[in-house]
Amino acid sequence: MASSVLRAIRKATKMQPKIVFVLGGPGAGKGTQCQKIVENFGYVHLSAGDLLREERNKPGSEYGELIENYIREGKIVPVEITCSLLENAINGSGKDKFLVDGFPRNQNNLDGWNKSVADKIQLQFVLVFECPMEICTERCLSRGAGGSGRSDDNLESLKKRFNTYLNETKPIIDYYEKLSLVRRIDATRSADEVYDDVKKIFQDYDVAGGDK
Binding mask 22-41 for Mg ion (x = CB under 5 A): ---------x----------
Q: How many residues does the chain have?
A: 212
Does position 78 bind Mg ion by CB under 5 A? no
Is residue 26 a contact partner of residue 128, using CB atoms and an 8 Å limit? no
Determine the distance from the C-alpha atom of residue 27 to the mean position of all C-alpha atoms in its chain, rounded to a whole number: 13
Residue numbers belonging to the annotated binding site for ATP: 27-32, 143, 189
Residue numbers belonging to the annotated binding site for a ribonucleoside 5'-phosphate: 53, 75-77, 102-105, 150, 161
Binding mask 6-45 for ligand UDP (x = CB under 6 A): --------------------xx--xx--------------
Name the nearest CA neighbour of 10 among 104, 128, 96, 114: 96
- The site partner of 71 among Mg ion, ligand UDP, none (C-beta below 5 to 8 Å per kind) is ligand UDP
Is residue 139 a contact partner of residue 194, using CB atoms and an 8 Å limit? no
How far apart (Å, rounded) are the C-alpha atoms in residues 8 and 13?
Answer: 9
- Give exposure, 5-24, as e/b (b: 16+ Cβ within 10 Å): eeeeeeeeeeebbbbbbbbb
Residue numbers belonging to the annotated binding site for CMP: 109
Does position 124 bind ligand UDP by CB under 6 A? no
Residues that bind ligand UDP (CB under 6 A): 26-27, 30-31, 47-49, 52, 70-71, 74-77, 82, 102-103, 105, 109, 152, 161
